[in-house]
Amino acid sequence: MPHDGEPAVPMSPRDILSSVIFYLGVAAVTVLLLRFGTQYGLEKVAQDFTRMEPRLERGGHLFVNKWARRPQDLEYEDIIMYRRPLWKRASYQYEFARVVGKPGDVVELIGSKLWRAERREGRLEPRQPVTEPFLNPRDRPADFSAVLVPRNTVLVMFDSRNHREPLRDLLIPVRAIHGRVIR
């Protein structure tokens, strides 16, 4: 820093280079933090959302991977965060549900038991019962016949199945998925 009456000393090439390296480092750290911040997030469960209890507490917070949106990124029984499409939406809040069917699968619910025939390498495998240890055994959901999960869609169900849910509300388009809850 020049004092009163002293001329300013010009920066040497070494000083310029070190300043450029410093600011590039700051920019790189900022980009990494922004990337991490957009990939993962902490989301709050709405107070009136009871369909996933006791796994998700009302008003609780969840860590969400916001880049896991495609069916290839999701596994069966993963909990996803999504917003219903505008024409099906009752509120603007996020909802959470468990993935039970991926594109090409055939899923049916018979007598509170979920059955799934998975599509592997273009072939439909034989129908298998799905074990769901997280369900309340007293819940009696309405049955639905075999449904083929369309392309770019996943079939979800809630852990609390004591109320009748229309099947069309359980088919979630991939574009409505906002991420996968990290357990």
Domain-embedded: residue 6: no
Domain-embedded: residue 117: yes
Domain-embedded: residue 3: no
Tokens of 17: 């280079």
Question: Is the C-alpha dihedral spanning 55, 56, 60, 62 positive or negative?
Answer: positive
Q: Which residue has the tokens 């018979």?
A: 110
DSSP class of residue 25?
H
pTM of structure: 0.70
Structural domain for 15, as ranges: 11-40
Tokens of 158: 């809630």
Q: What total of structural domains would you count in the chain? A: 2
Average pLDDT, the chain: 80
* pLDDT higher than 90, residue 10: no
* pLDDT tens-digit map of 59-107: 777 778 887 778 888 899 898 988 877 766 667 778 888 899 999 999 8
- pLDDT band at 111; cut points 50, 70, 90: confident
- pLDDT band at 21; cut points 50, 70, 90: very high
User: Mean pLDDT throughout 106-128?
Assistant: 84
Nearest of 106, 101, 41, 107 to residue 71 by alpha carbon: 101
Clarify whether residues 111 and 149 are in a common domain. Answer: yes
User: Mean pLDDT throughout 106-120?
Assistant: 84
Clarify whether residues 21 and 88 are in a common domain. Answer: no
Question: Is the C-alpha dihedral spanning 138, 140, 141, 143 positive or negative?
Answer: positive
Clarify whether residues 18 and 64 are in a common domain. Answer: no
Clarify whether residues 65 and 125 are in a common domain. Answer: yes
49 phi-psi bin (left φ>0, alpha ψ -120 to 50, beta other):
beta
Clarify whether residues 153 and 86 are in a common domain. Answer: yes
- pLDDT band at 36; cut points 50, 70, 90: low
